[in-house]
Structure 1
């Protein structure tokens, strides 16, 4: 008997076994999708993980219900990659499946289905398809489970899928994203007419001159394209080229001379590639490019450590061109969706339709189309994406590029899998037996350690493009200015003066403040009361634009009180500065400034990034106020002044990575200044200008900064010398969460001893009404990840046998950031 092990999109460990009925035995393929019944009533789309024969019949095994694909949707290399992520990051294959596949490729009982009101049937439905079609509505979506109840069909998924394939229904897990192929109305001849038939039709049209003219023009276009019998043209394009009206073409369709049909077109059209349009590398870039290839002879991973504005992107483009010439694909990862806007334009101009872009801001149609394009189209050779792009089906992968490799946003936080895309990309390249290039101006401590210890290759690019000097970094002592009563807001007089000078020269300014909203705190001047979120242990941020207070952890929105609820006095005051308040302040202080803000609130839609960046590039705006988004690889020619408004907030964060993050962030923001024509100026506002990190930033001294950090890490047993595993315990009852945390830590100490830290109450100990406790394990690098995982899971099972802990949620964060 043939059996399959399948992965279901649920957070359950392991795979699940099903029988293959004889009728489907020749259709099942590893990596394809099948419908399975899970439990008594639920049906899911599962991925085949393994097919095998067994002589011993297994009892109580259900059969798979239907096969959805004739080819693998998930490639063997992807399944191997999923297994590594599951093992290393301590999560389930089901969680990875749910995160990896676009939701349009996952049908389940909770999937929403609705009717396409514009559908016209071209072929009859089967009896069950008709039953399903009759209960659907174009205004009220139904769950598949509801369709099964209304129609009496025990498993409606295959019939829903066939209706969706025919265009009669839309499917999705959320109503807004209707998964359908994008189509455009096109026209062609009703049949392959002979010359005599065409002459007869033209004779019959003698009285309808416009129709006759339209048909003649159509036939001329058909001849120009090689007179192919299957020739068709988009109706809109035909009307535009010929000046014929739509009603004339409709009349020819009514006569049966032409046929109108919906032709599937791609959502992404980046034009033709122009590989010759890439820039010629300067001598420094050429040297680095050759050194990368020299290192690739011996190392699987190479770090390109290039200062800001040294032209790393041009080296990447040259390497991508080489891979394309070898007939290989390239995966190019970026940490932030904002960054893809400028890089996409640059890559589009060189690679055209060889480029595919993929990230989480794409709707489900676009993500599913990208997935299918990579499986079916050979011409898609460059994939540009944020961290989720590592899950795409990448055949014939020849190179992986991880740009800005130091970025914390490569780490997925919630939900699982909590993977680091940089590390995962290195493993993915290993599975495909290819190379990885990591690029940055400020390497992560772990990466630089690996490069210096010989595990990775190291290539250094120390000269900026066109040999422009690195920006001058000037600390502004805010403590001294406040003492002398010269600084009344967050904008210091030296910064305001330099901004005015820059704007007077028609240059641009970037201001960096890593806090969105208007004010991070509202406080009563009389009794010091501050509003807090009802669901989280965190104060609320005032957003002036919406006139509300918002919790930045759970998203809850509250109205602003007119008086203090504690002492009943109207003495509420805004404390601190968010980007919204700075935007307003700059407008008041320098009225001639044209200010734009770039943070999470102004970039919620996919196009808003592009609009903000395009306006700033075109000098329509001249002051850009932003959060860390403005630090990540953006390239503006005309920026001469950068202001870092509060360096101390980054330096004083209670985290062993605080100084590393502060150094990276400030160096990256500073790198936005003076990128083309002349040296830029960075004003760094701090109450502690003598702080060692400020000194390293001023001197662009990464080597000294690294030495300090690596010595501390070794002394206190932190990465790269030890691995960290964070165990996060959450629940609605605080005493139950505490009980589990204490008990779990105690049993873990039986094996791990002093390597167990905690349990501790984190700084924000309640989010979304769930109390949080954390246990941290510090494990030597030499220890086997598999054995560590087995031990932890053994102790977890032991502790979770207590029925009191049934409602508590527990997850692991391996290599937390």
Structure 2
């Protein structure tokens, strides 16, 4: 009889045994009281869902979950605001800005209240693993009618879960952005966790953003839509400036000590400043650990000839190849094409090369040279390719088998990121040099998340920011621990330049394999867009620099990629999205009539995350 559970598990996994749960038609999802326990053994009142993971369940409630289950919110202003919105009923939008632990407390309490009212909840997470963890936490709290849905599931599993959700057998759905399209009946709550995460934007057709779809569905379902974040997006801040500003001011947690180092005062090419080296040495001597974050993989961003200054380029994408070591090779960041490292310059036959920029491999080499007796590991996509490898390395770090961890922002995005007494940024301004109007926002959010890693036990640790532009408003706001300083300045800058959230940006992409045909379509669109711009009403004050063009392009894309090598972009800025959509539909109809059989693809992407 000992093998019976294993046989049942394998049978369910193979689809030989079908597990069904029947409920009355007037389903009212149970609260946490529907779980009974005997000693340390948990007993479910209802079996798990069809085709659920057969892995053995944990018999202990994690400490964080136990705390969430017993937390009181009587004096919490965010909870009072949420409860009033819930009691008022109908469609409402509420931003929830606070720490991760506070937001999870509020989420679990809101789910309990929604289920008590006989309605259902849809909870979104930016990544698959986070959705799975969230679903398991909800089950541990006793919510047995939970289903997790995302694109990494097999077609059969997705179909089975979709049907259970449609029948109303599920009270809570946790998933990624695709879960927004599930037929959840009587939906009362849509909660978007970490709404600022770019993963919520689908950069492929149909180019939707989960935040906008959630708003539309919430209005259709008359449901409460909650946007949760620690550092919200500029779009959310622009819509709820008053509420979010108050929430940012109310945050009174312990913050680490931040020190900014001006690299301009140091010799050119300095990787680790004397201040950062001193902090690292002291921490390592005291038995502490260090995390160094550099958001650039590889050894160097390019290999340049000393004589002619040329760098090897990718023949497909036309961008400089990045240098990697161990083994030495050149790799394209877009198509991932690999070429051997040349011994001579292909342009002038020179034999002396120099490095342009520093990557994690070069930083690792420098740390090993300076601290030869210290164990060092590198945490980036090139070195950590699977979830299992990431978990194994982080486990070694927590066991102190690794004393210095070097990584990209991949470290910050882990479900349970590591902490250390010293966090160093050899190039804190690296993301600010990316030619994208969102580069400042992305850098600020990454640095803000990284600050939470600086902990020495229960006390805040130290953060060292090395930068060549210490007066930039992102680094000033981080240094002074004043997020409102960044949001207000960045919002004003966006309004002056006519970028979201002050306007909407529409990316028009023309792609084709044959350059003459692509150029013909580009010329046609360029003329029609200029005519459309001439017919449009002038920009309203505060929606961009008056008198300047709101249509940019044509411009060559930096990542042609694939077989369609020719890729040309137009960027359209508008403060009236409906008017712009009507005008672009007319242009699209003219294009289809003018080029009925042309093998050129024309696509429109509203408010893209990546303009390339």
State the TM-score, normalized to the length of structure 1: 0.60
C-alpha distance in 2 between matches for 1:647 and 1:742:
41
Q: Give the match for residue 417 of structure 1.
A: 206
Distance 1:618 1:765, change over 3 A: closer
Q: Name whichever of 790-799 and 530-539 sits farther off.
A: 790-799
- Residues 1:432 and 2:221 aligned together: yes
Matched residue SS, 2:226: strand
C-alpha distance in 2 between matches for 1:501 and 1:657:
37
C-alpha distance in 2 between matches for 1:343 and 1:510:
27
Instruction: Write out aligned runs for 1:404-553 (5 A).
Output: 404-413=194-203, 415-452=204-241, 460=247, 468-482=253-267, 489-545=270-326, 547-553=328-334
Q: Name whichever of 354-363 and 648-657 sits farther off.
A: 354-363
Q: Give the match for residue 759 of structure 1.
A: 553
C-alpha distance in 1 between matches for 2:457 and 2:246:
23
- Residues 1:651 and 2:437 aligned together: no
| CA-CA distance at 1:685 after TM superposition | 0.9
C-alpha distance in 2 between matches for 1:815 and 1:581:
36
Distance 1:626 1:802, change over 3 A: same
| CA-CA distance at 1:533 after TM superposition | 1.2
Deviations 1:711-750 (A, max 9, x none): 2222332222322211111122334323322321221333
Is the Cα–Cα contact under 8 Å of residues 756 and 775 in structure 1 kept in the other structure?
no
| CA-CA distance at 1:538 after TM superposition | 0.9
C-alpha distance in 2 between matches for 1:361 and 1:604:
17
Distance 1:800 1:638, change over 3 A: closer
Instruction: Write out aligned runs for 1:199-348 (5 A).
Output: 266-267=52-53, 271=57, 278-281=68-71, 286-296=76-86, 297=88, 300-306=92-98, 308=99, 311-337=102-128, 339=130, 346-347=137-138
1:386 aligned to 176, 179, 199, which one? 176
1:801 aligned to 571, 589, 593, which one? 593
C-alpha distance in 1 between matches for 2:451 and 2:16:
51
Distance 1:569 1:633, change over 3 A: closer
Distance 1:370 1:613, change over 3 A: farther
| CA-CA distance at 1:530 after TM superposition | 1.5
- Residues 1:629 and 2:410 aligned together: yes
Distance 1:799 1:377, change over 3 A: closer
Larger Rg computed on CA atoms: 1
Matched residue SS, 1:182: helix
Is the Cα–Cα contact under 8 Å of residues 285 and 311 in structure 1 kept in the other structure?
no
- Residues 1:183 and 2:14 aligned together: yes
C-alpha distance in 2 between matches for 1:322 and 1:556:
53
C-alpha distance in 2 between matches for 1:591 and 1:338:
36
Distance 1:765 1:699, change over 3 A: same
| CA-CA distance at 1:765 after TM superposition | 6.0
| CA-CA distance at 1:677 after TM superposition | 0.3
C-alpha distance in 2 between matches for 1:539 and 1:320:
50
Distance 1:771 1:683, change over 3 A: same
Distance 1:810 1:657, change over 3 A: same
Deviations 1:59-92 (A, max 9, x none): xxxxxxxxxxxxxxxxxxxxxxxxxxxxxxxxxx
Q: Name whichever of 625-634 and 684-693 sits farther off.
A: 625-634
| CA-CA distance at 1:338 after TM superposition | 6.0
- Residues 1:568 and 2:340 aligned together: no
C-alpha distance in 2 between matches for 1:694 and 1:351:
44
Distance 1:702 1:655, change over 3 A: same
Distance 1:711 1:404, change over 3 A: same
C-alpha distance in 2 between matches for 1:512 and 1:367:
37
Distance 1:365 1:506, change over 3 A: farther
- Residues 1:771 and 2:566 aligned together: yes
The alignment covers a number of residue pairs equal to 547
- Residues 1:712 and 2:493 aligned together: yes
C-alpha distance in 2 between matches for 1:432 and 1:368:
23
Q: Give the match for residue 747 of structure 1.
A: 528
Cα RMSD over matched residues?
3.5
Is the Cα–Cα contact under 8 Å of residues 248 and 484 in structure 2 kept in the other structure?
no
C-alpha distance in 2 between matches for 1:565 and 1:752:
46
C-alpha distance in 1 between matches for 2:80 and 2:502:
32
Gaps of 5+ in 1: 1-179, 187-263
- Residues 1:403 and 2:188 aligned together: no
Deviations 1:288-309 (A, max 9, x none): 2223223453871111122x56
C-alpha distance in 1 between matches for 2:72 and 2:454:
21
C-alpha distance in 2 between matches for 1:676 and 1:424:
41
State the TM-score, normalized to the length of structure 2: 0.79
Matched residue SS, 1:629: coil
Gaps of 5+ in 2: 1-10, 18-49, 537-548
C-alpha distance in 2 between matches for 1:367 and 1:708:
44
Deviations 1:273-331 (A, max 9, x none): 9786635437798332223223453871111122x566322222222233344444332
C-alpha distance in 2 between matches for 1:633 and 1:319:
25
Distance 1:778 1:463, change over 3 A: closer
C-alpha distance in 2 between matches for 1:743 and 1:598:
48
Distance 1:396 1:497, change over 3 A: farther
Matched residue SS, 1:439: strand
C-alpha distance in 2 between matches for 1:642 and 1:407:
23
Distance 1:386 1:482, change over 3 A: farther
